[in-house]
Amino acid sequence: MYNIEAIRQQFPVLQRRVHGKPLVYLDSAATSQKPLAVIEAMDRYYREYNANVHRGVHTLSEEATAAYEGARKRIARFINARSPRELIYTRNATEAINLVAATWGRTNLTPNDAVLITEMEHHSNIVPWQLLRDQIGFELRVVPVTDDGYLDMEAFDRLLDERVKLVAVTHMSNVLGTINPIAEIARKAHAVGALVLVDGAQSVPHMPVDVQALDIDFLAFSAHKMAGPTGIGALWARRDLLEAMPPYMGGGDMIALVTLERSTWADLPYKFEAGTPAIAEAVGFGAAVDFLSALGMENIRAHEIEITEYALEALSEVPGLRLLGPRKAADKGGVAAFVLDGVHPHDIASILDAEGVAVRAGHHCAQPLMQRYNVPATTRASFYVYTTREEIDRLVEALHVVRKVFA
Amino acid sequence: MLDFYREFILDHYRHPRNKGELPDADISHEEHNPVCGDRIHMDIKLENDHIADIKWHGEGCTISQASASILSEMVKGKSVEEVRHLSKEELLEQLGMETLTPARIKCALLSLKVLKAGLYGLTSWPDEEDEWN
């Protein structure tokens, strides 16, 4: 039984009012709200056992290390990693992708190779490959999207050949919500000898993600979109790949032995974690994963399909409103991006804010996708574990206010 | 005073057994603990798959050095197969250090890591063979 009221009670910020009206938070794809369990876990770390990890012999450092490493194990299990050593803490999904580009990419890609991305990527899965392309000179190929917001798999098949060494693809579009067929993509990519990097920033928070079942090679995700704190994310990668990759940053904690002439690297995962890490954030990340696991990712996914179905239906009845992306809730995450005839998304977002409704307006870090659908920007409402039908009703009511202002 | 700084341990630290080098060693291996910089080197002379002689040297804390001394006594004369089955629990029991904290347990197990890495190429720490624990 999915008790939405009990879940909402866990999120203190949902109790607040904005411009005198109860907050309707529909911007979880940008960052989710945080439950008490996460806030309190981080608070407890600072109040009771704040200390640096790994080198300490004293009790506080032992406790901090146990909490930091315990969180790693729970996060690794959450995505069904083969070993917690395959789970590298990063600042966010963006840093995880940049880590792969700077280490695996720089070592393995040559001017004769190609990297395949898609038209629906977030900038974080476009720009690192462009930067690397400019240095190495490989070919960057782009899989287009269809008019109704799906990946053009016929084009994918055409663009995928033996020159492709990496397919870098989002699991779930942050604008269209489209869930891409990752297992199929991985199977086809591996058949031509290419590796698969999945941007899981939108999928890992919202649906069960199993790196072994998908048979992928790299997965990037961020804690702050999945009920956890900002400032921490993770890269999961196959162990043999991580072992062959050079370090990302140099410094403390990532070494085995250092002399002034040369150094050797620490074992996984520490080889990729230079410097004092985000300890409180890792503790919060672990608490977030516990929170989501207790709700059950299947239950969260089912809730979001129901809310998305309701939202797509309600929004499609607003005159002059055009939705982007798949119209079947089962094919997409909890996102509804739309344009409203004659009203710029920034104006929509401002009026909605005055009504207490928080949405995002803009290009959503996906400018190529805006160009593809010939819109300057869109308004995006996004849903999570705590989103209710009543909140969707409030969104639609507020959109009618927008229409009245611009009538 | 902590119970692991007992006379037995301090005696092995002050008067280490089997300390030195074997110039004609069949197996020679060294490992470090990156956390604190402890270092242990082991030389092993094999005869008929038995440890005919063992010498070690290195530097580090009382626990790491006493552990190497005690371990060298435990395995001298034993077969390679017996040593393969020597568990971390047996060594810790011999040291009387079953309750070490995670940071210090590495100090106690460095000698076992060197021994097993040298004999049959174990690459993980003896306490991390099950990575989920």
Helix (H, G, I), strand (E, B) or coil at A241: helix
| Residue pairs between chains A and B whose CB atoms are closer than 8 Å | 29
pLDDT digits (tens, 9 = 90+) for A232-276: 999 999 999 999 999 999 888 788 878 888 888 888 999 999 999
Helices (H), B15-129: 62-75, 80-84, 88-95, 102-120
Q: Is residue B17 part of a domain?
A: yes
Contact assignment for A73 to B102 by CB distance below 8 Å: no
pLDDT band at A364 (very low <50, low <70, confident <90, very high): confident
Structure tokens at A359: 């949405």
Give how far B130 is from chain A: nearest CA, Å: 9
pLDDT digits (tens, 9 = 90+) for B37-54: 889 999 999 999 999 999
pLDDT digits (tens, 9 = 90+) for A105-128: 999 999 999 999 999 999 999 999
**Which chain B residues have a beta carbon less than 8 Å from that of A68?**
none
pLDDT greater than 50 at residue B8: yes
Cα(A81)–Cα(A405) distance, rounded to whole angstroms? 52
User: Is A272 tagged catalytic?
Assistant: no
Helix (H, G, I), strand (E, B) or coil at B61: coil
Our count of domains for chain B comes to 1
A74 CB within 8 Å of a chain B CB: no
Q: What is the DSSP letter of A215?
A: T
Q: Does residue B40 contact residue B60 with C-beta atoms inside 8 Å?
A: yes
**Which chain B residues have a beta carbon less than 8 Å from that of A85?**
131
- Scanning every residue of chain A, which has its alpha carbon at the shortest distance from the alpha carbon of B39? A257
Cα(B5)–Cα(B101) distance, rounded to whole angstroms? 14
Name which residue leads in pLDDT, B97 or B20. B20
Query: What angle do the packed helices A59-78 and A36-48 form, to 10 degrees?
Result: 160
pLDDT band at A222 (very low <50, low <70, confident <90, very high): very high
Give how far B79 is from chain A: nearest CA, Å: 30
Contact assignment for A257 to B36 by CB distance below 8 Å: no
Residue located via tokens 């207490």: A356
Q: Which domain holds residue B103?
A: 7-122
Give how far B37 is from chain A: nearest CA, Å: 8
Give how far A170 is from chain B: nearest CA, Å: 29
CA separation, residue A235 to residues A212, A313, A329, A331 (Å): 15, 36, 28, 25
**Which chain B residues have a beta carbon less than 8 Å from that of A78?**
none
Question: What's B30's domain CATH number?
Answer: 3.90.1010.10
Q: Is residue B86 part of a domain?
A: yes
User: To the nearest 10°, the Cα dihedral for A316, A307, A149, A78?
Assistant: 170
Query: Which of B102, B104, B132 is facing A66, going by the closest CB pair?
Result: B102
pLDDT digits (tens, 9 = 90+) for A8-38: 999 999 999 999 999 999 999 999 999 999 9
Which of B36, B100, B131 should we substitute to test contact with A (largest number of A Cβ atoms within 10 Å)? Answer: B131
pLDDT band at B1 (very low <50, low <70, confident <90, very high): very low
pLDDT band at A147 (very low <50, low <70, confident <90, very high): very high
Q: What value does the mean pLDDT take over residues B100-108?
A: 85
Q: Is residue B67 part of a domain?
A: yes
pLDDT greater than 80 at residue B2: no
Residue range(s) in chain A whose domain bears CATH number 3.90.1150.10? 4-30+296-405
pLDDT greater than 80 at residue A202: yes
Helix (H, G, I), strand (E, B) or coil at A345: helix
CATH topology of domain A39-294: Aspartate Aminotransferase; domain 2 (3.40.640)
pLDDT band at B131 (very low <50, low <70, confident <90, very high): confident
Give how far A84 is from chain B: nearest CA, Å: 7
pLDDT band at B89 (very low <50, low <70, confident <90, very high): very high
**Which chain A residues have a beta carbon less than 8 Å from that of B32?**
256-257
Q: Is residue B35 part of a domain?
A: yes
**Which chain B residues have a beta carbon less than 8 Å from that of A255?**
34
pLDDT greater than 70 at residue B76: yes
Q: Is residue B85 part of a domain?
A: yes
pLDDT band at B127 (very low <50, low <70, confident <90, very high): confident
**Which chain B residues have a beta carbon less than 8 Å from that of A64?**
none
pLDDT digits (tens, 9 = 90+) for A372-404: 999 989 999 999 999 999 999 999 999 999 999
User: Which residue from B107, B108, B113, B114 is spatially nearest to B129, judged by alpha carbons?
Assistant: B113
Which of the following is catalytic: A18, A155, A365, A396? Answer: A365
Cα(A321)–Cα(A333) distance, rounded to whole angstroms? 20
Q: Which CATH superfamily is domain A4-30+296-405 in?
A: Aspartate Aminotransferase, domain 1 (3.90.1150.10)
pLDDT greater than 90 at residue A50: yes
pLDDT digits (tens, 9 = 90+) for A57-110: 899 999 999 999 999 999 999 999 999 999 999 999 999 999 999 999 999 999
Contact assignment for A84 to B104 by CB distance below 8 Å: no
Looking at A138-147, A285-294, B30-39, which range is the least confident one?
B30-39
Cα(A64)–Cα(A56) distance, rounded to whole angstroms? 9
Q: Is residue B1 part of a domain?
A: no
- Scanning every residue of chain B, which has its alpha carbon at the shortest distance from the alpha carbon of A56? B103
Q: Is residue B109 part of a domain?
A: yes
User: To the nearest 10°, the Cα dihedral for A73, A78, A81, A85?
Assistant: -20
Contact assignment for B32 to A83 by CB distance below 8 Å: no
pLDDT digits (tens, 9 = 90+) for A272-324: 999 999 999 999 999 999 999 999 999 999 999 999 999 999 999 999 999 99
By CB atoms closer than 10 A (0-12, 13-18, 19+), residue A269 is buried
Percent of chain A scoring above 70 in pLDDT: 100
pLDDT reported for residue A69: 96
pLDDT reported for residue A253: 79
Cα(A231)–Cα(A222) distance, rounded to whole angstroms? 8
b/e string for A57-77 if b means 16 or more Cβ within 10 A? eeeebbbbbebbbebbbbbbe
State the average pLDDT for chain B. Answer: 90
